[in-house]
């Protein structure tokens, strides 16, 4: 099981689990959200094109992300496996992915809707990639990993969160059926009280 796709609603904890999986299995963590945000920060052409979509909670056009991912998967460090986080997000992206690689396993992280809302509404992130929550950190909001100040992502505002969840239901959730039909989907059910480590234990069991 080397080429892995992570599926799950925004806030399901894909990013957090992807970091742990990448470390455990020594494979690169490829996050389209992180790549896009980096491009926005650096003011690249891609970043300029993606910005308005992301801020509105919409998906950026398939054409913008498909080539990036195909390129990234072609790099040397992805030859022995990778964990894809946030891609594919549409059927068209999944079909494009099937043209350039073979996916061994699709892991769906399934979290109840109420827990998703609760998490996204207090999510804090760090430049280093760490994710946290207002309920878990001290009031100074320092990153437990690198010490920088944690911040709220622009697209975690309540209106945008609602838009992202609607987009997930309509455009991304159909991928569950797509991969189920191929026979390489496994689901991990997470409930609101599961800690990061509990989820990772469940994940390791199915990988």
Q: Binding to ligand ADP by residue 87, rule CB under 6 A? A: yes
Among 38, 89, 127, 182, the active-site one is: 89
Site for Zn ion in 160-189 (CB under 5 A): none
Both tokens of 84, joined, read: 């894809």
Binding of ligand ADP by 179 (CB under 6 A): no
Burial class (CB in 10 A: 0-12, 13-18, 19+), 196: middle
Q: 86, exposed or middle or buried, with CB in 10 Å at 0-12, 13-18, 19+? A: buried
Between 22 and 57, CB nearer to ligand ADP: 57
Under rule CB under 6 A, residue 40 binds ligand ADP:
no
Query: Of these partners, ligand ADP, Zn ion, none, which one is at the site of residue 54 (CB under 5 to 8 Å by kind)?
Result: ligand ADP
In 3D space, the residue among 50, 48, 93 whose CA is nearest the CA of residue 69 turns out to be 93
The partner in contact with residue 130, picked from Zn ion, ligand ADP, none with C-beta cut-offs of 5 to 8 angstroms by kind, is Zn ion
- The item of ligand ADP, Zn ion, none sharing an interface with residue 145, based on CB under 5 to 8 Å by kind, is Zn ion
Strand ranges across the sheet with 105-110 = 29-31, 82-85, 3-7, 105-110, 185-189
Query: Binding segment for ligand ADP among 22-30, 82-90, 174-182, 193-201 (CB under 6 A)?
Result: 82-90
* Cα–Cα distance measured from residue 119 to residue 56, given in angstroms and rounded to the nearest whole number: 19
| DSSP E strand stretches across the chain | 3-7, 29-31, 82-85, 105-110, 123-125, 131-133, 185-189
Is 89 tagged catalytic? yes
What's the closest the beta carbon of residue 187 comes to ligand ADP, in angstroms? 17
Among 32, 39, 131, 132, contact with ligand ADP (rule: CB under 6 A): 32
In whole angstroms, the minimum distance from the beta carbon of 91 to ligand ADP comes to 12
Among ligand ADP, Zn ion, none, the one that 123 touches (CB under a kind-dependent 5 to 8 A) is none
The reply on whether position 36 binds ligand ADP by CB under 6 A is yes
| One-character DSSP codes across 67-87 | HHHHHHHTSGGGTT-EEEES-
- Tell me the torsion sign for CA atoms 6, 8, 10, 11: negative
Annotated catalytic residues are 14, 89, 123, 153, 164
Q: Which residues bind Zn ion (CB under 5 A)?
A: 126, 128, 130, 143, 145-146, 148
Footprint on this chain of ligand ADP (rule: CB under 6 A): 10-11, 14, 32-33, 36, 53-54, 57-60, 65, 86-87, 89, 93, 155, 164
């Amino acid at each position: 099981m080397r080429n892995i796709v992570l599926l799950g609603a925004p806030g399901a904890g894909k990013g957090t689990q992807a970091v742990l999986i990448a470390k455990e299995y020594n494979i690169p963590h490829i996050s389209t959200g992180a790549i896009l945000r980096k491009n926005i920060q650096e003011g690249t052409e891609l970043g300029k094109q993606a910005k308005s979509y992301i801020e509105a909670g919409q998906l950026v056009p398939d054409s913008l992300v498909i080539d990036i991912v195909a390129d990234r998967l072609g790099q040397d460090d992805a030859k022995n496996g990778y964990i894809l986080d946030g891609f594919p997000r549409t059927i068209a992206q999944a079909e494009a992915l099937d043209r350039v690689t073979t996916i061994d396993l699709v892991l769906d992280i399934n979290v109840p809707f109420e827990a998703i809302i609760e998490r996204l509404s207090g999510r804090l992130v760090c430049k280093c990639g760490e994710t946290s929550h207002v309920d878990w950190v001290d009031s100074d909001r320092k990153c437990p990993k690198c010490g920088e100040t944690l911040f709220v992502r622009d697209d975690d505002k309540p209106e945008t969160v609602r838009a992202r969840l609607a987009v997930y239901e309509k455009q991304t959730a159909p991928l569950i059926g797509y991969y189920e039909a191929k026979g390489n989907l496994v689901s991990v059910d997470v409930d609101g009280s599961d800690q990061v480590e509990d989820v990772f234990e469940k994940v390791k069991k199915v990988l």
